[in-house]
């Protein structure tokens, strides 16, 4: 893990390591803050997250007993 100051001073080394397939963590004030990774790895993670996300339609189609009873309430009269 790099400190923010070290990462700034050796940014080329941080980028080179990330491009070599090793994501680089950078800390700020002693706490993990960011990760530097290759754009290929970033896009792969985005695509994976999008493919794992269930759509609302998929969720509703998988819901057992999706036929809900209607309420007996009557609409009120509205004048326009």
Chain segment 40-55, per-residue pLDDT in tens: 999 999 998 887 777 7
Low pLDDT (below 50) residues in the chain: none
> Domains in the chain and their CATH numbers?
1-44 (3.40.1620.10)
pLDDT value, residue 66 = 63
Residue with tokens 């996300």: 53
Q: What H or E segment, with its residue span, contains residue 30? A: none
């Amino acid at each position: 893990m790099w400190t923010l100051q070290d990462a700034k001073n050796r940014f080329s080394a941080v980028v080179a390591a990330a491009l070599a397939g090793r994501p680089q963590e950078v800390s700020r004030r002693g706490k993990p803050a960011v990760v530097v990774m290759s754009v290929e790895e970033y896009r792969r993670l985005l695509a994976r997250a999008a493919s794992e996300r269930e759509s609302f339609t998929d969720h509703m189609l998988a819901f057992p007993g999706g036929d809900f009873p209607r309420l007996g309430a009557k609409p009120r009269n509205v004048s326009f």
